[in-house]
Amino acid sequence: LALPQRSPFCLQKIEDGHLNNSLGSPVQADVYFPRLIVPFCGHIKGGMRPGKKILVMGIVDLNPESFGISLTCGESEDPPADVAIELKAVFTERQFVRNSCVAGEWGEEQSSIPYFPFIPDQPFRVEILCEHPRFRIFVDGHQLFDFYHRIETLSAIDTIKINGDLQLTKLG
């Protein structure tokens, strides 16, 4: 039985529901968290559950193409970990698409939104609220859409990955 390969950038950890930052409290020996670098990969302690919220704050790059936020079941690349929800902001099409990948199969992509909330070179705040039947996505305090769970075991959703054309300023 081979252990899954660790992604080279999956070194940061979320402890007690909060990410430790370089200015935060003393860091335990097994926690490596130099700064919020992109691509980012971090562990969600205890996994997701109804009532748990993930906060991603950042600044969109000046000339962005896209950025993505994924909640996954572990860090494995080969075979790829299940993706509970992947959010992708695509600036050329002004879309905020979402999807999931279970057992290597991508589901039906959803893209309808009332408006595109991201502006180049401007800060943003994305909140992913886990409820019993769905994730509820808020951007800058406004509910944008719901995404119904395609992965039944919420506690298995224990990793957050962020990549693309953005700078991270806060995670929690």
Q: Which residues contact 67 (CB under 8 A, 6 or more apart)?
A: 60, 88, 89, 162, 163, 164, 165, 166
Question: Is the per-residue pLDDT at 5 higher than 70?
Answer: no
Cα–Cα distance for residue pair 85/100, rounded to 1 Å? 5
Could you tell me the pTM of the whole model? 0.81
Question: Looking at residues 99-112, what average pLDDT do you find?
Answer: 96
CA angle 164, 168, 170 (to 5 degrees): 145
Residue 130 in domain: yes
If phi > 0 it is left, if psi is from -120 to 50 it is alpha, else beta; for residue 74 that is: left
pLDDT of residue 76: 87
pLDDT of residue 35: 64
Number of domains in the chain: 1
**pLDDT digit string, tens, across residues 107-158:** 999 999 999 999 999 999 999 999 999 999 999 999 999 999 999 999 999 9
**pLDDT digit string, tens, across residues 79-99:** 889 999 999 999 999 999 999
Residue 20 in domain: no
Task: List the CATH number of the domain containing 157.
Answer: 2.60.120.200
105 is in which domain, residue-wise? Answer: 40-171
Q: Provide the mean pLDDT of the chain.
A: 85
Residue 25 in domain: no
